[in-house]
Amino acid sequence: MDRVNRTKSGPGPVGANLLAVRSHNTALVLDLLRGAGAEGISRLELAERTGLTPQAVSKITARLREEGFAAEAGRRASTGGKPRTVLRLVPEAGHAVGVHLDRDELRTVLLDLNGTVVGERYGTVGLGGGAEAVLDLVAAEVTALVGSVLGCGVPADAPTLLGVGVALPGPLDHVRGVLHRVTGFPEWAGFPLRDALAERLGVPVVVDKDTNAAALGLAAGGEGGSFAYLHLGTGLGAGLVIGGRVHRGARTGAGEFGHQVLQLDGPVCPCGNRGCVEVLCLAAAGRGETSEAARVLGVGAGNLVGLLDIDLVLLGGRTVAGAPEVYVRGVAEVLAERARRAGLSEGVPEGVPVRVASGGERGVAVGAGQLLLGSVFGRDG
């Protein structure tokens, strides 16, 4: 399959080394092949479900088979005539790296086209160590991961590698891949992370906030409707999925959940404000007052639910992982009480559902990889 040029005019490689999805129609077919799993799907079913003509589907699937992205999965009985050939996606035909660059941890995963983790590395990092040192470490970890699984010396030599998705604390500019003032690390403000890392690796790079990546991963994994993913780790943020799509806002700044002010004369937050939900929540957690931290998180979540009328709240991050039942119960109690006061309990007696997000400690990294895979299947977040 043709590859899109990796570079264009301007600083650094910023193109997309993605499958040559020559049209939206090809992406639709690929997505249906993926959804059919090992059992496969026939060309006739593909035509019916996409609205394409059988001739168009035959051309698309012939090209996908020729280039290794689709294969026969057997034959299925037909109501008339000869049995139908069914096709399946070849997961190993493409891979994406997902990187979770936290304030003090670095996790990299390699995903196949199904989004299955086929390799993983984990280590420590310090964002305060300077951009060049951090990027050298990220590049080394990505190179080691890709080399160990795909057997190549450098990522650019891996023929199935689509690129690298990086997720880290915001705020940042998702479109340009440029960081804003990361809370606690002002020296990163304005740093062109996407282009700098793409230049080191020689493959396309996409950058997004950790919360957005996790939310995208959850949606790709089947989480439907409109939901908020609240990530409580070394910081606090939210990833918002509304109508099945990640909501980033006009300037890609949506989801700065942790810096809503709950207490005007409260403690100073690293962002410069006082009484932010992040500083109050983390302070309580640091004192061992987990129930209080959960209650504070619930108040912030209640504000979010009230503004957006979302269907579900999902919790994640290492701090939540330390006492998941306490956080789920605490947030759910606040939301249920809010619903009762607002007279919204009819039909939703427990308020908006709250549960721990699937994916565990890999969730953000897997979501970062989905930043690349989504483009292949016409499901850009």
CA distances for 11 relative to 67, 194, 199, 305, angstroms: 31, 11, 9, 41
pLDDT tens profile 267-286:
999 888 999 999 999 999 99
Interatomic CA distance for residues 293 and 31, integer angstroms: 41
Q: What is the model's pLDDT at position 244?
A: 86
208 in Cβ contact with 194 (< 8 Å): no
Where b means 16+ CB within 10 Å and e means fewer, 164-182 reads: bbbbbbbbbbbeebbbbbb
Residue length, the chain?
Answer: 381
d(CA 356, CA 330): 12
pTM of the prediction? 0.88
């060309």: which residue's tokens?
43
pLDDT at 348 over 80: no
Can you give the pLDDT at residue 186? 85
pLDDT at residue 341 in the model: 82
The model's pLDDT over 75-105, given as tens digits with 9 standing for 90+, comes to 876 666 677 889 999 999 999 999 999 999 9
**Residues above pLDDT 70, as percent of the chain:** 90
Average pLDDT taken over every residue of the chain: 88
Residue 345 pLDDT: 53
- Return the CA Rg of the chain: 22
- First CA to last CA distance, the chain: 24
* Residue 224 structure tokens: 């439907």
Amino acid at 110: L
Locate the DSSP E strands across the chain. Answer: 41-42, 70-76, 84-89, 95-101, 105-112, 117-124, 161-168, 172-173, 178-179, 205-209, 227-232, 236-242, 245-246, 312-316, 354-356
**Can you state the angle between helices 290-308 and 324-341, rounded to 10 degrees?**
50
- Over range 187-201, report the average pLDDT: 95
Q: Quick one: pLDDT at residue 254? A: 84
d(CA 237, CA 260): 10
DSSP 8-class letter at 77: -
Asked if residue 117 has pLDDT above 90, the reply is yes
Higher pLDDT: 342 or 297? It is 297
pLDDT of 190: 94
Q: pLDDT tier at 67 (50, 70, 90 boundaries)? A: confident
Least-confidence region, from 3-7, 66-70, 135-139: 3-7
- Could you give the angle at the alpha carbon of 83 between the alpha carbons of 81 and 84, nearest 5°? 110
The model's pLDDT over 145-174, given as tens digits with 9 standing for 90+, comes to: 999 999 999 999 999 999 999 999 988 999
Rounded Cα distance, 71 and 51, in Å: 22
Over residues 223-241, the pLDDT tens digits come to 988 999 999 998 999 999 9
Q: Are 177 and 206 in contact (CB under 8 A)?
A: yes
Is residue 114 scored above 60 in pLDDT? yes
d(CA 327, CA 291): 7
Work out the pLDDT band at 252, boundaries 50, 70, 90. confident
